[in-house]
Each structure stands twice: as C-alpha cells, then as structure tokens.
C-alpha cells in the first residue's frame, strides 16, 4: 500500500497525521475549558440569585420598619414604600442570565421564590395601606405586619438555601480547579507521548519501507555499474519504482550495447583494447589472437612494455605520457608476437581522465612499413648511384657555360644554363632524399654544444642573402637572443629551410621577420612572412614527405616537398616541436622549439 504513494502523498501523510492528533487534543482541551466555564457561570448565577434575594429581603425589612414606625413616617411615606415593594413583587424575577437547564439545583428555589412573589402580591392587595385611610385599624396594621414578616421569613429561608448551595460550590471550587489542572497535565502528557509514539510508528512504517526500497534500487544500480544483469522489478507506483524501471531499461540497453561492442571487438580487423594508468591491458579484442598470436586472456593485466621491442620502448612510454597530457595522439612501435616475429603497429590512442584509462585502436602496418623500407632502400641506393653522375654532369655543364671549352653561341649557352639549373635541382633533390633517409633511419649523430640562437639565424640569413635580393624581399634578424643546446650546423639547416620557404612565398617588397622567444627552459624560434598564407586543409600535411601547399599559379614555386619533413626530423631529434600558424592573405609563421643551454651555475641554482 505504501509503495503506491508517491513522495508528495507520503509527505502529506507525514504532515497531516500529527496535525490531526494535535487538533484532537485541542478539541479535548477546548471541551474541558468550556466545561470549566460553565461551572464558573453556574457559580455566578447562584451569586446573582442570592444578591436578588438579599435585595428583596432588605426591601421587605426596610418596608416593615417604616410601616411600623408611625411616629417618624407619615402615612404617605409608608404607602409609598409599600407600593414600591408591591411593584417590585409585581414584576417577574429576571435572575440575570440564569438557565435552569444548566442549574437544576436552583429550580426548587426559583419556583418557591416565584410562589412567594405571587402570594405577596395577593396579600398585599388586601392590606389597608393599599385600600386607603378609611380601612386602617389595629387589625389592619397587624395583618400588614404579618404579611411583611411572612414574606421576609420566606425570603430569608430561600437566601439561606442559596447560601448553602453557593457554599457547597465554593467549597468544591479549589478541588475542582486542582482536578482541572491535573486533567490538563494528563492531557498534555498523553498528547506528547501519543505524538512520540505516532512519530516512531511513522518512521518504522514509512522510513523503514522506503529504506528497504532504496537499498533494493541501490543494489540494482551497483549491479548495473558492474555490468551484471539486473533482474526483478520493484512493486509500486512511487518514484523509486520509476527509478527501478529506468535502471532495468538501462540494463537492457547496456546489455545490447555490450553485445554489439563485443561483436565489434571480436570481429574487427584491428586490435581494439584499453590500458590502465600503468599501461597494462584491461580489455582486449579477439583480433589479438589473429594478429599477435595471443588470446585476450593471455594479455589481460599484462604491461604493454613486455610486448614491444627495446628500441621502441622509450618512444612508446614517452608517447603515452604525452597523450595523457594532450588527451589523444598517435605513435608507432614494434611488437614481438608469441611466435617471436616482429610486427609494426600504429597506435591511435585516446586518454580518459575520468576512467584513468587509454583507449586504443592498434593497426597492423607491417606490410606498409615493409614497402616503405623497400622504397627507402631503393631511393637510397638510386640516390647514391645517381648523385655521382649528376655531380659530374653539373660540372661539365658549368665548364661549357663559362667558356672553358671555347666560345659557344648565345643560344647554346642558354640551353646549357637551363640544363645546368635542372641538374642542380635534381642534385638537390637527391641530396634531400639522402638527408631524409639518414634522419629517418637515425644514421646521424648530433654534435650538441652551446650555441647562440641569434648566430644560427644570422648564418641562415647570410646564406640566403642572394635569394632574398633576387626576390626583392627584406629579411629581418631577431632582436632577442638566448643560448641553445644543439647541433649548430643542423639548426642552421632548419632555419635555412624555413627561411627559404618564406622568401619563395613572399611578394616583392615585403619583409620576412625572425623572432626568438623563451618560455622556461625552452627557446622558440619563429620565421614569419607576408605571403598568401596556407589553406587550413593543407596545414596538417605540410610536414609530411612530398607535400606542398597549393601555391598561387603566378608564384611559379618549385620544390621537392622534403624541406619541412627534414626540419621536423631535425627538431624532434633535438627533443623539440615544430608547428605553423597561418591566415589566408595575411601570411604564415613557422616555429620550432629547442632546449636552452644551462651552465653549471644555473644547474646549481
């Protein structure tokens, strides 16, 4: 029954029950007060009757003495007093607000007083004073006195009876008042204990029942959170029953989602998994069996570091820590499968701060990387084989063009100059190929030493002074300076690549500016131009190999698309980052970060 009451109805019951009890006690107290008031009114009525009787008795006595004192009172005075007494008797007694139904003990007295009044009127009409002077005699005086004495005695008897009743009531008044006090105390105490009993009863009935239902709903919520099936439903129509139904519906939906998720995990071409904050597998899809020759049960709670090769362990740990800061990212490593074979893996990872877990999709890119490695070998081999003939061809063309083999016609010289330019461009492409191959294969070492950032920028500026003059572009050196820890030759190469791009894309009579900034232990070098800017769709690709921006046709810019890839590899080898900000028609700013140099004194500080 209680489960059919909603929260509003339950609240009304909890509020109205005490109110009803309080109203009941108010009614009892009011009834007792009314009864006490009636008793007080009865006493007041008795006193009013007594006062009225005393007045009548006093008037009778005064009239008797006046009528008896003939010497001091004339006949007219005696007649006037007698007439006043008769007029008093001729009017019915009012007795104040006396109600005989509420004062039955006064009924005989009132009836006797009424009979006495009527008798006094009858006798008084027969007295000589009432009939005139001719009827006055001794007999008449005696009769008159007897009437008055009789009336006075009857009045006195009635007054004594009223005094007796009043005395009895007054005598019992303290006892009645004490009883009334005790009754009020009893009523208040009973009301207090009854309210307390009702409160305890309501707590046991309502709160107890509600607590059981809340516990049932809480248990189902915990089962839902743990992924366990929720069975049964809570009876009733209250809010808890509605919550229980919502939990049941959510359990059904989650069960369907888990089934779908399980189907996706088990049938996905890639390994879908999650890692806890300590980089241990917490969930693994069935694809791991096919790709890594390890079942999900074998991988559960196993560290990822136990699967990857030693040469990719540090980069994997660094990438996961960085993803934990950034929220998401990608990285590659090499996994060792159960049979000992090596597999290249591309990890796409998202970090959840709430769950303290990494959610990963692992693509097997072994075949793709094998193809890349074959291409690199081919390019390296071809580049080595091509560079020597190209160098020789370039030297021969330069010799012919400068007239070392004799004078040549102007048309031939132009053709030779064009061929020399193309051979140099091809040689530059081959050199870039070889440079990038060494960088990606880590076949180079950095000669780290303190170097001034301004010197790096000035060296690059001087190297490209001819290119800048030909393009009619002004290159501004940075105003600030700081000491870097890096390979000076490689850093100059980075700035040259960025500066040459800025000059190529800058319009005539524009300015390319270089800036040096510091943030903590890191220096930031920026190269900013006033060119056409980079399309937002190209920004994410420009640091990849063979990628170039969509330049305007009138610029006629040619390049290999390897310069920025070389920049990225050199900067990352120094432990820095590289990036770009651009706005169409307003220019582009390339930047890269390099660790600052700290001498021994700074380290001690």
As a whole number of Å, the end-to-end CA separation of the chain is 76
pLDDT of 436 > 70? The answer is no
Tens of pLDDT along 520-579? 999 999 999 999 988 888 887 788 766 666 555 455 555 566 788 889 988 998 999 999
Between 567 and 216, the more confident residue is 567
Query: What are the DSSP calls for 364-396, one per residue?
Result: E-HHHHHHHHHHHHHHHHHHHHHHHHHHHHHHH
pLDDT of 600 > 50? The answer is no
Q: Which of 487, 452, 453 lies closest to 573, judged by CA?
A: 487
For residue 321, the model assigns a pLDDT of 92
State mean pLDDT over 122-130: 61
Which pTM value belongs to this model?
0.42
Q: Count other C-beta atoms under 10 Å from residue 454's C-beta.
A: 18
Please count the residues of the chain: 605
State mean pLDDT over 473-495: 93
Between 8 and 460, the more confident residue is 460
The region, left, alpha or beta by phi > 0 then psi within -120 to 50, assigned to residue 279 is left
State mean pLDDT over 428-443: 64
Token pair listed for 527: 């190269």
Residues facing 512 on adjacent strands = 475
pLDDT of 231 > 80? The answer is no
Name the least confident of 184-198, 373-387, 408-422, 525-539: 373-387
Whole-number mean pLDDT of the chain? 77
For residue 226, the model assigns a pLDDT of 66
Between 156 and 583, the more confident residue is 583
Return all residues near 172 (Cβ < 8 A) that are at least 6 apart.
Answer: none
State mean pLDDT over 47-72: 68
Reduced to 3 states (helix: H, G, I; strand: E, B; else coil), residue 486 is strand
pLDDT of 136 > 50? The answer is no
Exposure string for 528-546, b = 16+ CB within 10 A, e = fewer: bbbbbbbeeeebeebbeee
State mean pLDDT over 193-208: 74
Task: Count the alpha carbons within 13 Å of 162 in the hemisphere toward its beta carbon.
Answer: 28
Between 149 and 470, the more confident residue is 470
pLDDT of 159 > 70? The answer is no
């Amino acid at each position: 029954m209680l489960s059919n009451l909603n929260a509003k109805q339950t609240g009304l019951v909890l509020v109205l029950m005490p109110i009803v009890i309080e109203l009941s006690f108010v009614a009892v107290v009011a009834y007792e007060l009314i009864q006490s008031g009636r008793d007080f009114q009865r006493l007041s009525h008795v006193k009013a009757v007594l006062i009225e009787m005393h007045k009548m008795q006093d008037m009778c006595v005064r009239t008797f003495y006046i009528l008896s004192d003939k010497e001091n009172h004339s006949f007219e005075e005696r007649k006037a007093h007698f007439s006043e007494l008769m007029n008093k008797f001729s009017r019915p007694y009012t007795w104040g607000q006396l109600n005989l139904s509420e004062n039955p003990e006064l009924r005989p007295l009132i009836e006797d007083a009424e009979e006495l009044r009527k008798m006094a009127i009858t006798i008084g009409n027969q007295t000589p004073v009432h009939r005139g002077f001719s009827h006055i005699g001794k007999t008449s005086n005696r009769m008159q006195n007897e009437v008055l004495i009789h009336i006075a005695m009857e009045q006195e008897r009635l007054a004594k009876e009223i005094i007796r009743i009043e005395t009895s009531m007054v005598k019992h008044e303290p006892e009645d008042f004490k009883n009334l006090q005790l009754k009020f105390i009893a009523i208040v105490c009973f009301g207090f204990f009854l309210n307390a009993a009702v409160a305890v009863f309501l707590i046991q009935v309502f709160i107890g029942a509600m607590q059981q239902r809340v516990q049932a709903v809480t248990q189902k919520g915990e089962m839902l959170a743990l992924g366990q099936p929720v069975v049964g439903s809570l009876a009733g129509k209250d809010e808890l029953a509605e919550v229980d139904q919502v939990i049941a519906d959510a359990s059904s939906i989650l069960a369907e989602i888990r089934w779908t998720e399980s189907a996706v995990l088990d049938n996905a071409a890639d390994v879908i998994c999650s890692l806890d904050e300590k980089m241990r597998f917490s969930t693994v899809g069935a694809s791991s069996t096919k790709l890594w020759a390890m079942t999900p049960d074998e991988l559960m709670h196993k560290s990822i570091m136990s699967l990857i090769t030693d040469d990719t362990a540090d980069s994997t740990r660094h990438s996961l820590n960085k993803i934990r800061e950034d929220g998401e990212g990608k990285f590659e490593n090499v996994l060792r499968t159960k049979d000992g074979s090596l597999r290249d893996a591309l990890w796409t990872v998202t970090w959840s701060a709430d769950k303290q877990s990494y959610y990963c999709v692992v693509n097997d890119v072994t075949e793709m990387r094998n193809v890349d490695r074959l291409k690199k070998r081919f390019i390296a081999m071809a580049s080595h084989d091509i560079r020597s003939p190209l160098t020789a061809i370039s030297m021969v063309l330069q010799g012919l063009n400068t007239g070392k083999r004799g004078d040549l016609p102007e048309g031939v010289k132009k053709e030779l100059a064009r061929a020399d330019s193309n051979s140099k461009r091809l040689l530059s492409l081959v050199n870039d190929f070889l440079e990038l191959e060494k960088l990606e294969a880590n076949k180079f070492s950095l000669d780290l030493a303190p170097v001034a950032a301004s010197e790096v920028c000035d060296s690059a500026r001087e190297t490209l002074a001819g290119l800048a003059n030909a393009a009619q572009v002004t290159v501004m050196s940075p105003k600030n300076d700081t000491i870097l820890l890096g390979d000076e030759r490689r850093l100059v190469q980075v700035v040259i690549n960025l500066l040459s791009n800025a000059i190529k894309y800058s319009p005539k009579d524009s300015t390319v500016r270089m800036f040096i900034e510091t943030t903590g232990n890191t220096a930031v070098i920026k190269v900013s131009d006033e060119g056409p800017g980079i399309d937002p769709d190209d920004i994410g690709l420009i640091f990849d190999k063979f990628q170039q921006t969509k330049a305007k046709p009138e610029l006629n810019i040619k390049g290999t698309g390897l310069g920025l890839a070389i920049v990225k590899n050199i900067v990352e080898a120094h432990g820095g980052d590289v990036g770009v900000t651009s706005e169409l028609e307003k220019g582009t700013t390339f930047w890269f970060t390099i660790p600052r140099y700290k001498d021994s004194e700074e380290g001690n500080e």
